[in-house]
Amino acid sequence: MTAPIIRSSALLCLTLLTTVHAADDAPKLAQQFLGKYCLECHDADVQKGDRAFEKFALPLKSVPDLIDARDIIDQLTLKEMPPKKADQPSDEERLAMIRALRDGTVAAYGKFQSTGSRTVMRRLSSREYENTLAVLFGRRVDTLGLTADFPKEKTSQHMDNIGKSLVTSGFLVDQYFQSANRLVETRLGKPATEPKSWHFNSHFVQYEELQGSHKSAFNFRYLCLYEQPNTDTRQGGYGHIEDFKQGVPVSGLYDIEVEAVALHRDTHYDPAIFGIDFSEPFILGVVPGDVTKGHIHYPQAIEPLLASTVVPDNTPTVFKFRVWLEAGQTPRFIFPNGPYESRASVVTINKRYKDEFKADVGSSGVGRAHILLEGKLPHIRISDIKINGPVPEEKGGAEEIAVFGKDGFQEAHALEQLDAFAEKAYRRPLTDADRQPIKALYEKRLAEKNTPRQAALDALKLILCSPSFLYLSEITAESEKTLSPYDLASRLAYALWAAPPDAALLASAKSGKLTQDAELKKQIQRMLADERVTGFIGGFLDSWLNLRELGGMPPPREVVRSYYAEDLPTSMKTEASLFFRDMLKTNGSVLQFIDCDHSFVDKKLARLYDLPEQKTLRLADGFKKVSFKGDAHRGGLLGMAAVLTVSANGVETSPVTRGVWVTENILGVPPPPPPDVVPAIDPDVSGATTIRDRLAKHRADAACAECHRKIDPLGFSLESFDPVGRWRTKYPQVNKKTPAPKIDTTGEFPSGETYTDFASFKKVIHDTRADLFSRHLIRQVLTYTTGRTMELNDDFIIDKLHDKVKKQGLGLNTLLVECLMSEVFRSR
């Protein structure tokens, strides 16, 4: 056994012994402290402040006890109790009491939240719900925005698929019905419609301040795109067709022909005015719009990208797209890599290049007609649009085939067809209890003089609102602990694909072989190698690393324009996803998450990271594997912009915030919550002090120091990165009189290890806390894939899993397979 392993084992044993000893002493310590300092004013007779602690004791037995404990922690932390005139505890006594109460609240919370190490029967999350409908109906459903009005999902430990957190309200039930009704009627209940053609080459009215200039310069002859979508001013980010705001008559495929040209990409104006990369060709995109859902030239809740293309310079070119539009939707055109903000560009051009124009700019500086006629304003110009559809589809379309089969709806076999679909929707064989309500509703609708097809569609809505569809309902007997084959198939499919089981997995369940080790392992490996594993990668990274919140606190537009202009959050998340997938494919060691000599970047990230590849990569190249050998600024999760952005607030960074992120997400040791009454650390707007200086003052209080000595060292080295993950050596300069403070990246762990910079910090984590990390990763994988929080009862199995995976080299693929083969995953 090597020295580091011996040291780690000794530390672990010591920690366990200390924890057990502390737990044994805590009740006595609390009783003595309360008797000595609190009960004189807070016994059953006096109850000052409506607080009586005579019966308060550890361990905590109820939620009111938990609330009292939090209140005592707050008062002791602020030294507001005992009152100044009363006898005061020593710092050692106060800290010991705070520590005992914090440990007690953590233990009690876990106990009160316990599910008895069983997965609570859970419903599909909104993400899984839409994925499932897309699979069942054979076509994307994001154009409908079925979950747009659903309540926001509650998460547990950042995970959106934990059973106890997925509450089903009456409002949500109503939303399920409305979604089922809308999906079925727009996709399968639409009237037969002959294809129709529309042609537009004039009256391209654009709104607000564009309208006057377009009338003056073009008489509305052209539809022009001047900026990327979703800017602050929204002047030319969405190009709609004024005479087609009513949209298409029915949902379906539509052919769109657009004549467009990219103009003035070679503009002589200062490129900095526009904030974009003029070496890249302009891109034209198509998104849906609905005039009933808000301003047609503003961002809308439902606008997935339907198609895109590169637009050549100076030569009008016809582009053909086939896109899916829902009834009432109209195509809108966007300029994804367009200028940051049109209005600001125009104002600046009018000021700096006013001598180039014959026309008088006027006092506002916003006028653009003269620039369009005489100047070189970069934009995409559309001159002609043709729309044709709905395009006839073979055998009635993907939805018809998915629901009723290749021969379409058959009245004579309607119930058989509905039962076959229900079996796919419920992800298991039907019982008589499943068939009865489907048959009853179908016959009821027929008796009410509905057509057989409409009766079948209404029964279809019933299926989509059934708990057997909306919930991962377990048919495993209550007395059985191990999941039955069909339940195991559903759990496995939603764990790895966030979607229902495919035919191969259901066949394995039907044969009964899926519960056998060899067959289960074979199916797991097949599913991990399938493209659909992106459902797991995206969902798990959003949960484990909290990447779901990326973009929740973005930087100010004027500070980091590229964050918006280049859609950096998408590139950031893609890097993390590709890195994870590569490790999964190669079975790379999970310790590469701590430090690694390579990653994946596109042109945007290469520029953000200041890599040599920024000079050679093009947007069309997408992402490329790059080496970080010799680069001490990157490597592993902590060097990724996604992590560094989500662990900051968009405006400034904090060792506390990032330190908490590291201890929670990398080491799996959540710090106790700060006392409710402790104020936040005030920023120094003069720039005279650093965050380290202010933290030092904050830690002067022993109660605060108790937690900060564990948290802050995990964040000091990450101060080398700004709020969006760019490398820096100094903080921003606040004013000209005060020089920009240098960043101090040194630190010392509570256990004594020291580091000098980001690279040596990662080395300490890698060399001394690898077991903490890999064990936490196993816990996170099990939590995500089972849909329940791991509890103390699971620790023994997690330890065994960790030992097993460690002996095999800690490969990510190995870790996932072993987790999914484990007793925890295969149990109710």
Q: Give residue-wise pLDDT tens across range 637-696.
A: 999 999 999 999 888 888 888 988 998 999 988 776 665 555 555 554 445 456 666 656
What is the Cα–Cα distance from 701 to 317, expressed in whole angstroms? 69
Q: What is the pLDDT of residue 684?
A: 46
Contacts of residue 700, defined as CB under 8 A and 6 or more positions apart, other chains included, come to none
Lowest mean per-residue pLDDT among 12-21, 56-65, 512-521, 532-541: 12-21
Regarding whether 695 and 628 lie in a shared domain, the answer is yes
Q: Which of 653, 659, 619 lies closest to 741, judged by CA? A: 653
Q: In total, how many domains does the chain have?
A: 5
The Cα 322–Cα 392 span in angstroms is 12
- The answer to whether residues 595 and 685 belong to one domain is yes
Domain-embedded: residue 310:
yes
More confident residue, 286 or 112: 286
3-state secondary structure of 484: coil
Q: Both 251 and 371 in a single domain?
A: yes
Residue 1's pLDDT band, with cuts at 50, 70 and 90, is very low
**pTM for the full model?**
0.83
Residues near 612 by beta carbon (within 8 Å), at least 6 away in sequence:
none
Contact by Cβ (8 Å): 426, 506:
no
DSSP assignment string, 744-756: ---EE-TTS-EES
Tell whether 607 and 723 lie within a shared domain. Answer: yes
236 inside domain: yes
Residue 402 near residue 140 (C-beta atoms within 8 A)? no
- Does the pLDDT at position 18 exceed 50? no
| Cα 547 from Cα 552, distance rounded (Å) | 10
The secondary structure of residue 637, as a DSSP letter, is: G
Looking at the structure, do residues 358 and 464 belong to the same domain, yes or no? no
β-sheet bridge partners, residue 258: 319, 385
Is cis: bond before 82, omega within 30 of 0? yes
- For residue 619, what are the contacts with CB-CB under 8 A and spacing of at least 6? 280, 337, 602, 603, 604
Give the C-alpha separation, 811 to 580, whole Å: 12
pLDDT for 46 beyond 80: no
pLDDT band per the 50, 70, 90 thresholds, residue 263: very high
Structure tokens at 379: 């934009």
The yes-or-no verdict on residue 78 having pLDDT over 60 is no
The confidence band for 363, taking pLDDT boundaries of 50, 70 and 90, is low
In which band, very low, low, confident or very high, does the pLDDT at 16 lie, cut at 50, 70 and 90?
Answer: very low
Please say if the pLDDT value at position 498 is more than 60.
yes
Give the residue from 112, 140, 174 where a domain finishes: 112
Among the candidates 78, 112, 146, a domain finishes at 112
Please say if the pLDDT value at position 445 is more than 90: yes
* H or E, element range at 380: strand 379-389
Listed residues 453, 473, 493: the one ending a domain? 473
Residue 119 lies in a domain: no
| Percent of the chain topping pLDDT 70 | 88
Q: Is 424 in contact with 152 (CB distance < 8 Å)?
A: no
Mean residue pLDDT of the chain comes to: 87
Mean pLDDT of 19-23: 44
At 680 the pLDDT is 56
Domain encompassing residue 637: 547-768
Whether 819 and 536 have beta carbons less than 8 Å apart is answered as: no
Q: Which residue has the higher pLDDT, 305 or 705?
A: 305
Q: What is the pLDDT of residues 583-630, one digit of tens each?
A: 999 999 999 999 999 999 999 999 999 999 999 999 999 999 999 998
Domain shared by 589 and 669, yes or no: yes
In sequence order, what DSSP letters do the residues of 672-723 get, joined into one string?
Answer: PPPPTTPPPPPP-TTS-S-HHHHHHHHTTSHHHHHHHHHHGGGTSGGGGB-T
Q: Quick one: 632 and 756 in the same domain?
A: yes
Identify whether residues 167 and 213 lie together within a single domain: no
Judge whether 14 lies within some domain. Answer: no
The residue type at 438: I
Peptide bond preceding 390: is omega within 30 degrees of 0, i.e. cis?
A: yes
**Are residue 104 and residue 212 in the same domain, yes or no?**
no
The pLDDT of residue 730 is above 70:
yes
At 213, which CATH number?
2.60.120.260
Which residues have CB under 8 Å from 121's CB, separation 6+?
163, 471, 472, 473, 474
pLDDT score of 734: 75
Q: Which of 362, 703, 725, 686 is nearest to 555 (CA)?
A: 725
Average pLDDT over residues 120-136: 93
The tens digit of pLDDT for each residue in 273-327 reads: 998 889 999 999 999 999 999 999 999 999 999 999 999 999 999 999 999 999 9
370 and 462: one domain? no
Least confident of 11-25, 99-113, 353-367, 529-543: 11-25
Q: Clarify whether residues 317 and 416 are in a common domain.
A: no
Give yes or no for a contact between 330 and 246, defined as CB atoms under 8 angstroms apart: yes
Q: Note every long-range contact of 455-461, with CB atoms under 8 Å and residues 24 or more positions apart, other chains counting.
A: 455/414, 456/404, 456/409, 456/414, 456/417, 456/418, 457/184, 457/185, 457/188, 457/189, 459/418, 460/180, 460/184, 460/188, 460/403, 460/418, 460/421, 461/177, 461/180, 461/181, 461/184
- Give per-residue pLDDT as tens, 510-542: 999 999 999 999 999 999 999 999 999 999 999
What average pLDDT does this structure show over 807-827?
96
Q: Does residue 120 form part of some domain?
A: no
Domain co-membership, 217 together with 169: no
Q: Return the higher-pLDDT residue of 571 and 737.
A: 571
Dihedral angle, C-alpha 646, 650, 652, 654, nearest 10 °: -20
Q: What is the pLDDT of residue 164?
A: 84
Residue among 462, 447, 514 nearest 487 (CA): 514
Please tell me the predicted confidence (pLDDT) of residue 59. Answer: 81
The answer as to whether 18 is a domain residue is: no
- Is residue 119 over pLDDT 80? no
N- to C-terminal Cα distance for the chain?
38
User: Is the Cα dihedral 69, 72, 76, 77 positive or negative?
Assistant: positive
